[in-house]
Amino acid sequence: MARKTKAEALATRADILDAAIQVFMDKGVAGATLEQIAEAAGVTRGAIYWHFKNKLEIFRELNNEVQSSFVQTLLEDLDREHEEPLEQLRELCIELLVDLERNPRKRSILLILFLRCDYSGEMAAELQQQQENQRKNVRVFANYFKRAIDKGHLAREVDPNVLSMSLMCYLSGIVFESFRCPGALNLKSNAGKLVDQFFSGLGSCRR
pLDDT in tens, the chain (207 residues): 445 688 888 999 999 999 999 999 999 999 999 999 999 999 999 999 999 999 999 999 999 999 999 999 999 999 998 999 999 999 999 999 999 989 999 999 999 999 999 999 989 999 999 999 999 999 999 999 999 999 999 999 999 999 999 999 999 999 999 999 887 888 989 999 999 999 998 875 665
CATH code of residue 101: 1.10.357.10
Q: What predicted TM-score, i.e. pTM, was given to this entire model?
A: 0.91
Domain range for 31 is 1-52
Q: How many domains does the chain have?
A: 2
**Residues 97, 178: one domain?**
yes
**Residues 25, 75: one domain?**
no
CATH code of residue 8: 1.10.10.60
DSSP state of 184: T
Of 52, 74, 90, the domain-final residue:
52
**Residues 184, 161: one domain?**
yes
In this predicted structure, what is the pLDDT of residue 207?
Answer: 55
Contact 66, 73 (CB under 8 A): no
